[in-house]
Amino acid sequence: MNIVLLGAPGAGKGTQAVRIAEKYGLVHISTGDIFRANIKDNTPIGQVAKSYIDAGKLVPDEVTCEIVRQRLEKKDVSAGYVLDGFPRNLIQAHELDKFASIDVCLDIDVDEALLLERICGRRVCSCGASYHISTLNGKDTCAKCGGKLYAREDDNPETVKARLATYNIQTAPLISYYGAQNKLKTVMCGTKTPDEVFAAVCGLLG
């Protein structure tokens, strides 16, 4: 099963992607994670991506599509994958249809008012775990690996507003794109807890 996860920044795509991948034996592919790893290693891709990410804009399609195309050529994706953060506009969606066959698009629906609060309170660990300050009780270490938690550089109010605008203009049209292909499944309860959202996701995926 090949899944595309749609949802605004802060909708919980990453959190759900990890769980879906585990339960259904799929590979989790996050373009955001790939870019952040490249920025950390200061690769040519990282150098290009950084300015776009800091501005809340999309990294150019040629770069992004090529990364995903190469990733999907690896053997480990044969059992299926969850794409988290790709495609993010219609060009990427058309491109993806040339080299992949998507079975289902899960759209996690969350009120915009909540997104800002969620992202600005987000703390992450280098192991991939993600938390919200409201449940950390002042702790700053990862419950999974003991690593030090930090805020992502693009999780500041200014960049978040730009990311939300980018989502509304460029990514939201993908909901109709996958709807027209009869692949769309909408998770209506995106504002609920991760466990509740995951239960709904499993209900939709069967």
Which residues are near Zn ion by CB under 5 A?
125, 127, 129, 142, 144-145, 147
65: left (phi over 0), alpha (psi -120 to 50) or beta: alpha
32 binds ligand ADP (CB under 6 A): yes
Closest CA to 53 of 156, 194, 187, 173: 156
Contact status: 118 vs ligand ADP (CB under 6 A): no
- The Cα 139–Cα 41 span in angstroms is 28
Q: Which is nearer to ligand ADP, 111 or 203 (CB)?
A: 111
Residue 64 contact, options ligand ADP, Zn ion, none, Cβ 5-8 Å cut-off depending on partner type: ligand ADP
Residue 105 and residue 201 in contact, taking contact as beta carbons nearer than 8 Å: no
Q: Shortest Cβ distance from residue 124 to Zn ion (Å)?
A: 9
CB of 19 to Zn ion, least distance (A): 16
Minimum Å gap between C-beta 46 and ligand ADP is 11
One symbol per residue from 63 to 82: x for binding ligand ADP (CB under 6 A), - otherwise; what is it? Answer: -x------------------
Asked if 20 contacts 3 with a C-beta cutoff of 8 angstroms, the reply is yes
Give the DSSP per-residue string, 10-51: TSSHHHHHHHHHHHHT-EEEEHHHHHHHHHHTT-HHHHHHHH
Q: Which residues of this chain interact with ligand ADP, rule CB under 6 A?
A: 9-10, 13, 31-32, 35, 52-53, 56-59, 64, 85-86, 88, 92, 163
